[in-house]
Amino acid sequence: MKIWFSHGQDGSPDGDKIRLLATIAADRGWQHDSIDYRGMEDPQDRVNKLLVELRQAGGPVTLVGSSLGGHVAAAASKDVECLALFLIAPAFYYPGYEEHTPVPCARHIEIMHGWGDDVIPVDNSVRWAREHAAVLHIVNGGHRLEENMQDLAILFASFLQKVEKLADSAS
């Protein structure tokens, strides 16, 4: 199985969160890739770049996105066979871009967001999770969740276990 990571606006394909999650995925036997969006400001350009990669790879996908990368992953899920989404402080209902908030298409969705996020209000994830029946984990942290890396690791490992069961039931 393969997982695809999408970093945030000012992130990188080898940022701390992605490295942590990639290690957890690899330890469970998952392949992984992290798309490099640096220098790409437009969210739709990022979605298009991810879709090119996903279509070339084929097969059902699991997508992980942080902040703007969460928006990108959810938007891309509509155009590929997406098994699951794991979104970290996703940039939904951002002022001026509310109408671009994506409608996902995945069998399982989980979100982790911090109560103290001063970039993307946690209420945006509460609203989106309610509208799309997503599992929502709210922690005492900020937008980057730097103080919540252990929580992130535990939640992500649990998420992967759920996705593995979904994949087994689908085959």
Give me the DSSP letters along 81-120. -EEEEEEES---S-TT-GGGPPPP--SEEEEEEETT-SSS
Query: Which residues touch 122 (CB under 8 Å, ≥6 apart)?
Result: 113, 114, 115, 138
pLDDT tens readout for residues 54-86: 999 988 999 999 999 999 999 999 999 999 999
What's the CATH number where 90 sits? 3.40.50.1820
Which H or E run contains 6?
strand 2-6
Confidence label for 97 from pLDDT (cuts 50, 70 and 90) = confident
Distances (CA, A) of 94 to 53, 122, 149, 157, 158: 26, 12, 25, 29, 29
Q: Extract the tokens encoding 162.
A: 């759920």
Provide the residue range defining the domain that includes 83.
2-170
- Phi, psi (deg, nearest 5) at residue 39: 85, -5
pLDDT score recorded for residue 59: 86
- Percent of the chain whose pLDDT exceeds 90: 91
Residues 14-35, mean pLDDT to the nearest whole number: 97
pLDDT score recorded for residue 5: 98
Give the three-state DSSP class for 143: coil
Number of structural domains in the chain: 1
Cα distance between the two ends of the chain: 12
Which H or E run contains 61?
strand 61-66
Query: Which residues touch 165 (CB under 8 Å, ≥6 apart)?
Result: none
- Percent of the chain whose pLDDT exceeds 70: 99
Between CA 66 and CA 110 the distance in angstroms is 12
pLDDT value at 169 more than 90: no
Confidence label for 34 from pLDDT (cuts 50, 70 and 90) = very high
Query: Which residues touch 36 (CB under 8 Å, ≥6 apart)?
Result: 12, 13
Q: What is the pTM of this model?
A: 0.96
Q: What is the mean pLDDT of the chain?
A: 95
